[in-house]
Amino acid sequence: MDFSIEVLFLDLMKAAVLIFLGHMLRSKVKFLQNLYIPSSLIAGFIGLAIGPYGANILRFSSHMGNYTSAFMVIVFSAIAYGSFSVVKEEKRLGELKESKGESLKRILALYVYRSIASILVYIVPIGVGVYIIDKFIMKLPEGFTILVGGGFVGGHGTNAAFGSAVTEATGWAGATDVGMTFATVGVLVGLIGGIIMIKNATNKKYTSFVNRFDALPEQFKTGWMPENNEPEMGKEMVSPIALDPLAWSFLMIIIPTGLAYATIKYVRIYLATMPTYLWAFLIAVAMTQLLKYSGIGKHVDKRSISRISGSATDFLVFFGVAGIKIEIVMQFAMPIIVLSAMALGSLLFCMYIIGPRLNNKYWFERCIFVYGYCTGVYAIGLTLLRICDPEGKSKTLEDAAVTSPIDFVEYYTLLLGPILLSTGRVNTFMTVMVITLVVSFIAAFVLKLWNVPQKERISDAELEI
């Protein structure tokens, strides 16, 4: 079927209906509520079951696989606005500079811990996959192993980008399918595993703010915000008489997205492996700086841009999961299972061995946030944190926000990971990551961030901040 506006809107309509159905199921079915599975992921499972790669009851066009990549470029255009300031005063970096004493140590400890956890989730599966499975058991396509860390740490959005980049560089068409599988495993492991760990932690008195497992507020389970308590989606930064405020935020994303598609063929004359999503991100970064130094940035609402990005992510998740080709997943079932187990094992090692040493007080609350963050998306970490720290007393979110603009591991893996892994430069990628890991441990000792092991403590309440 040739592509047309009619084909596009028919596919989007079918996706919207299934996402609507997924949200209704989430709001009514207790089992789904207790797992906190996102509505778009539920919809993706339904689409996979009844769609063209399942029972084939619901037909989508042959362009279904392209939508994931398109939404992914939109998401990465929006990421630039969350990562870089559009005004001359950067609040978060200012907070980091002003932090002193134990407060600064607490912030740096969380940053170092998050870096170590992210690095291990990437390099352990890559090491096992490239140096053991690929050499002695079965041949893996180039770029296969970067999809493990991309799926766990980055989620569906990141792995849509990684899968697209691997396909463009190697010609392996199954990269996105495997990438979506790893991302889905990560989300499920994050939510289900996180809830199990919280229940276990309350029994062992690792938690500081809850004595037993309590559910989140009702809206986190049903998906509906309570009446008369609905938060604002964003601020109106332009007058609706001149331009709709949401359109103003939308064009901030669509301009770099469109420019990326329009110019990527010229960029690849000089940089043959440049992914479209990365080029869109770089254009958006340039746009944030243009807005910043022109003074227009003060009229840009990051929250609205984030909501547009979130909407694109929901459709990305749906099309990514619903479009998974089961035969490709089955072909690589063994390495998918083994490498997912390696990623999970790395996180559990960080959670219970490294975490208590790097996070002096409220170690469990801070570690469970990083666990959720490293198994899909920020929202999973936030959900798990709010179960065991409903009032935010551990200051985990504030500390994580302060160091987000300087997260080297995230930038390195997003910008260079799939390019290096899919072009045979595994050792280059691993060398940089291992050096960063060693530097992180050295920093932990030099800055005196290393603490008394958890088993030697009586309780966190007896520790001084």
Q: Write the CA distances from 445 to 65, 96, 108, 188, 358, integer angstroms.
A: 48, 20, 12, 34, 10
In a domain, 463, yes or no: no
pLDDT in tens, 293-321: 999 999 999 989 989 998 998 999 999 89
Cβ neighbours around 296 below 10 Å, total: 13
pLDDT at 10 over 90: yes
Q: Which token pair is 1?
A: 């079927």
Predicted local confidence at residue 462, as pLDDT = 45
Q: Which token pair is 222?
A: 């049903």
pLDDT in tens, 202-219: 888 888 887 776 656 677
pLDDT at 77 over 60: yes
pLDDT at 267 over 90: yes
DSSP annotation of 272? T
In a domain, 95, yes or no: no
In a domain, 96, yes or no: no
pLDDT in tens, 124-146: 999 999 999 999 999 999 999 99
Distance CA 328, CA 317 (A): 18
Q: How many domains does the chain have?
A: 1
Predicted local confidence at residue 214, as pLDDT = 61
Find which of 104-108, 274-278, 298-302, 461-465 is predicted with most confidence, using mean pLDDT: 298-302
In a domain, 458, yes or no: no
State percent of the chain over pLDDT 70.
Answer: 92
In a domain, 228, yes or no: no
pLDDT at 20 over 90: yes
Distance CA 130, CA 134 (A): 5
DSSP annotation of 231? P
In a domain, 243, yes or no: yes
In a domain, 306, yes or no: yes
If one compares 222 and 20, the residue with the highest pLDDT of the two is 20
pLDDT in tens, 409-425: 988 998 899 999 998 89
DSSP annotation of 150? I
Per mean pLDDT, which range of 239-253, 265-279, 442-456 is the poorest?
Answer: 442-456
Domain enclosing residue 271, as ranges: 5-89+107-222+235-453
pLDDT at 464 over 50: no
In a domain, 38, yes or no: yes
pLDDT at 262 over 70: yes
State the Cα angle at 144 between 139 and 146, rounded to 5°. 140
